[in-house]
Structure 1
């Protein structure tokens, strides 16, 4: 009999419940159900009193082992600073994360208290402003957070160069002309950003696209920090803009509201604001690289949209940067 080594396995719900009962001092035995399977596996957890939690089991990732130690330390820092964000629950032993073992290897696990509130609307300016406000509060708090041991650094190597290499090496883009076009765009974008002066470096959320939050009493309460790390503030801003203009969307008024909310708490330098426009391209490469790295798991049909993205990137450059001194 030929044995196959698993690339990615899904634990049984009963096993997840036993793991939580063993390691966390929740009330009674818990009930679980899977919420989402993908970049991470997410489970709703309900204890015997009805208290609700979310259990996250990290996925393997080509960008390296999940930096859960720094992530949970940052969330604890945000909690002390009064920033509305997810709260990790400590284990019986006081740890903020654990490692569970699946057939493909170790996977990091964190239990969070479920965030109350509703999902943000893509077209609600108030929700956009709330996201901008919370990101500004996060950046203010980040100024007193020590991230020297962080595994992820949201620099161009992490966000642009390695993702392009994953696209190239995955084979998902078979047209050599498109691949050269993507390489040219990546190179041109990197050079433009490297010419920018005085860009702010700070601990970033890393994935503030407007939906990694719940709106509770008018505030955006953030979650999903596992793409975060020390990096360009301009990139952290750009993720929201990217979400409003990529894949055919035309929701730039929400970007204006987001920036208004941010500036109500914290100023943005002209250099960072201008660079955020360039980082829209960087963010798109990061996403494409994430998907390309999972070709063997999800199948090439699930990621073949990558080969159609050069048009968006070229159009964004042409609309925003032609004949502009940047």
Structure 2
């Protein structure tokens, strides 16, 4: 009798063998399993001492990973002078390797390895992160790619995640209309702001998907990786990801002085490089809540792998209170 597998985890040694066999990089002498979250990520060491990073793409509720578009984005940004971890082609020139696992076919994508300091709470690093994200948006202009891609609009970020959330096995008849009403009010408030600025978004720029490189002249520069959420979309959403990460995601959470200071350092540095409209500024706190809806939809889609208690009914009760509180969320004054 066969047993269905939701998601398997290859060992680092197995991933090293795959990369050695299918990429023109020579011998892979060591491997390290870094993390398992939405994807599984490995650091591999080559015989010449270099490192590369392998990402084993997981099945996601949003649909298949848009690997060709991601590779096109990385090449475009690199050509525009933006420091990013570009993808590496297989021996046959493909952007990814397809491997058969117990649950079915999954894609492995290989990237350059970046190093540097964490952004942390060092003001110079936060400012470098803000300037770097602004430069990334400038470098993203003029991209031409025929590959299919995600579009980070309200359907993708809010309405579809809301539907996945409403179908979660731990959702209740009491909570369902509350989440529906919160999502609809949020949607309507954003639409009422009119046209918002669109950019090529990183999609997950919360300061843990970049490092800060210190150049020979002492300049600090943000270097970016982990673009599997990238796509054209709302600038206000892109900029809301960092304050969403800073703000306590708990009922009755308040901006701490430390979090408010970090937000001001980030957004001030961003605006030194790119103009931010009044409408986009007004949309920012709304998109902090959108980000939480997006996350809840992702969690709901991961129940077959993570289990239903990854979003228990008690957790959902806290989330509906949190999102209700965030209807009046205000960003720290800049």
Which TM-score applies when normalising by structure 1?
A: 0.92
- Cα distance in 2 between the residues matched to 1:161 and 1:147: 26
Asked if the contact 1:35/1:42 (under 8 Å) is kept, the reply is yes
Asked if the contact 2:52/2:112 (under 8 Å) is kept, the reply is yes
The structure 2 residue matched to 1:168, chosen from 166, 169, 175, is: 166
Asked if the contact 1:288/1:306 (under 8 Å) is kept, the reply is no
- Cα distance in 2 between the residues matched to 1:318 and 1:117: 37
- Cα distance in 2 between the residues matched to 1:224 and 1:66: 12
Report how many aligned residue pairs link the two structures: 318
| Correspondence 1:316 to 2:326 | yes
Residues 131 and 172 (structure 1), Cα distance of their counterparts in 2 relative to 1, 3 Å cut: farther
Query: Who is 2:197 aligned against?
Result: 200
Query: Who is 2:125 aligned against?
Result: 127
Query: Who is 1:12 aligned against?
Result: 11
Gaps of 5+ in 1: 322-326
Query: How far apart are 1:148 and its partner, in Å?
Result: 5.3
Query: Who is 1:259 aligned against?
Result: 267
- Cα distance in 2 between the residues matched to 1:282 and 1:274: 14
Query: Who is 2:290 aligned against?
Result: 282
Indicate the RMSD between aligned Cα atoms, in angstroms.
1.7
Deviations 1:104-146 (A, max 9, x none): 122121111211112221x333222222111111111111112
Query: Who is 1:294 aligned against?
Result: 302
Query: Who is 2:208 aligned against?
Result: 211
Counterparts of 1:1-326 in structure 2, within 5 Å, are: 2-121=1-120, 123-147=121-145, 149-174=147-172, 176-217=173-214, 218-247=220-249, 248=253, 250=256, 251-304=259-312, 305-320=315-330
Query: How far apart are 1:27 and its partner, in Å?
Result: 3.3
Asked if the contact 1:150/1:230 (under 8 Å) is kept, the reply is no
Asked if the contact 2:89/2:96 (under 8 Å) is kept, the reply is yes
Deviations 1:17-57 (A, max 9, x none): 22101121213233212111121110110011211111111
Asked if the contact 1:246/1:312 (under 8 Å) is kept, the reply is no
- Cα distance in 1 between the residues matched to 2:317 and 2:302: 15
- Cα distance in 2 between the residues matched to 1:148 and 1:262: 30
Counterpart secondary structure, 2:84: coil
Deviations 1:65-106 (A, max 9, x none): 001110111011111111121121222233332222212122
- Cα distance in 1 between the residues matched to 2:94 and 2:2: 36
Counterpart secondary structure, 2:107: strand
Query: How far apart are 1:147 and its partner, in Å?
Result: 4.6
Asked if the contact 1:99/1:106 (under 8 Å) is kept, the reply is yes
Asked if the contact 2:119/2:129 (under 8 Å) is kept, the reply is no
Which TM-score applies when normalising by structure 2?
A: 0.90
- Cα distance in 2 between the residues matched to 1:166 and 1:211: 26
Query: How far apart are 1:319 and its partner, in Å?
Result: 4.0
- Cα distance in 1 between the residues matched to 2:161 and 2:262: 28
Asked if the contact 1:189/1:278 (under 8 Å) is kept, the reply is yes
Gaps of 5+ in 2: 215-219
Query: Who is 2:217 aligned against?
Result: none
